[in-house]
Amino acid sequence: MAGRRAIGRDPDTPLGGMMVNRSVTEKNFLFMLGILIDASDPYRVTLRSTGGDLMPTDDALKPSHYDIRPYSRRGNISSYKSSVTDEPCITRVLSRTITGRDAHIFPVSSEECFVQNGFSRWITNRIVPRDTGLNSCQNGLLLQSHIHQSFDAFDFSVNPDDGYKTTCFDEDPFSIDGRTLDGICRILNDEKSVRDELLRWHFRQAVLAKYEGSWQTKL
């Protein structure tokens, strides 16, 4: 994995880019930047053409150039200390025999990581005490086979912190970008419902998988 890339050394050199589908609102864009940027100091994001601050609204993000600046308007961007995160992204093994059944949110191949990082504690319908819960329906979504494979590849994800909206990180051949996860999958206190904590993990992983490496190495 590439080393961290410092932000702000050359304002004229793009740090990276994103696919702007309809799900990418100003709020969603700022949320994703919060995953990608490892900042010790507060920062703001400005629209280069106007210099205006980007706000966490539900307005669609305009395809344009944006600058990451120190929170203080008097700050010098060249002295701002921040970097693209080097948080590791899990590697998923794609199956060639995927069917239209439950897609695991946290992959079966990473059960040890599932347990070590405490994700099993969110599973409440384990049949036996020692079951990790990895194969629980609370760690799954019922998807058609072609969509299942895209989900495993982090091509799209569902953000529980943005109204359970689906965000596609690439082309959208299935027209699912911007759709909302069916309410039956997320009924509070339902033993069959998906766990928000696992959806949140998958969304974070998708952002890292699709953008972290290119943002680190795009010099």
Cα distance between residue 121 and residue 131, in whole Å: 11
Burial category of 23 from C-beta neighbours within 10 Å (exposed 0-12, middle 13-18, buried 19 and up): buried
Q: Give tens-digit pLDDT for 9-27.
A: 566 677 778 888 989 999 9
What 3-state class would DSSP assign to 215? helix
In a domain? residue 78: yes
Q: How far is CA 36 from CA 45, 47, 170, 181, 183, in A?
A: 13, 18, 17, 24, 29
Given pLDDT bands bounded at 50, 70 and 90, which one contains residue 138? very high
Query: Do 139 and 78 belong together in one domain?
Result: no
Give domain status of residue 12, yes or no.
Answer: no
What domain count does the chain have? 2
CA dihedral 29, 35, 36, 42 (to 10 degrees): 90
pLDDT of 40 higher than 90: no
pLDDT of residue 35: 92
Which of 83-87, 184-188, 202-206 holds the top average pLDDT? 202-206
- Residues in Cβ contact with 46 at an 8 Å cutoff, skipping those fewer than 6 apart: 52, 53, 54, 66, 67, 69
* Same domain, yes or no: 200 and 130: yes
Same domain, 201 and 159: yes
Query: Do 67 and 159 fall into the same domain?
Result: no
In a domain, 1, yes or no: no
Q: What is the CA radius of gyration of the chain?
A: 19
- pTM comes to 0.86
Residue 126 vs residue 203, higher pLDDT: 203
Q: Is residue 15 part of a domain?
A: no
Three-point CA angle 103, 30, 154, nearest 5°: 20
Domain boundaries, position 112: 102-210
146 and 66 housed in the same domain: no
Say which range, 35-44, 100-109, 168-177, 208-217, has the weakest mean pLDDT. Answer: 208-217
Phi and psi at residue 115, in whole multiples of 5°?
A: -75, -45
